[in-house]
Amino acid sequence: MSEVSQVNNTRNQLTSNYDFSKIFIGDNKYRKVTLAATAALNVKIGTVIGAVGATIGIYKSGTSNQLPIGVIAETVVMPSSGTLEVTIVNAGKIAEGKLVLNGTDTLATVVSNRTIRDMIISNTIGVELVTVDELSATDNV
C-alpha cells in the first residue's frame, strides 16, 4: 500500500509526502470469506472483520456475540445489500497502527471483559499485532 499526498503545489515548487508503509508484514495467511452487506460503503484495507455464527461483516464492538476473525486484505466497495466475497488475513504479523476499527472503537475498547486487541489475537488462527517504526511514516516528516 502506498499513497502520495501533495502538501504544496505552486508554480515553482511541488512538495509531496510518500507513504510506503505496510499493513501486512512478512508471511501472512489469507482466506476468502463472504461478507453480508448491510449498507453501500467503501471498506478500507486493514478493516477488522467479525463473525456472529455464520454471518460475517465489519466488526462492531456493540454487536452481540460478534468475534473478530481477521483483517480485510484489500479496499473494496460493499453493495447496499446482498453479499461480497473478500480476502482477509487471519494469521501473520499486522501493523496495529494501520488497523481500521468501527466508529469510536480502539484496540483498548473492552467487550465482555476483554479488549479488542486480545480478541483479535485469540480468535484468529495466529494474528500477531506489532508496533512498527520502520516503513510507517511519510518520507518528508
CATH number, domain of 81, equals 2.40.300.10
Q: How many domains does the chain have?
A: 1
Per-residue pLDDT tens over the stretch 31-56: 999 988 888 889 999 999 999 888 88
Q: Structural domain of residue 102, as residue ranges?
A: 23-130
100 grid coordinates? 481500521
Per the domain annotation, does 18 fall within a domain?
A: no
Is 58 within a domain? yes
Q: Is the pTM of the predicted complex or chain greater than 0.75?
A: yes
Q: Do 19 and 71 form a contact (C-beta atoms < 8 A)?
A: no
SS3 assignment, position 116: helix
Residue 8 counted as domain residue: no
pLDDT in tens, 81-122: 888 999 999 999 988 888 999 888 899 988 888 888 898 888
Residue 34 has what pLDDT?
Answer: 92
Residue 15 domain-assigned (yes or no): no
In a domain, 1, yes or no: no
- Residue 83 domain-assigned? yes
Is residue 116 domain-resident?
yes
Alpha-carbon gap, residue 49 to 57, rounded angstroms = 6
Distance CA(120)–CA(13), nearest Å, equals 45
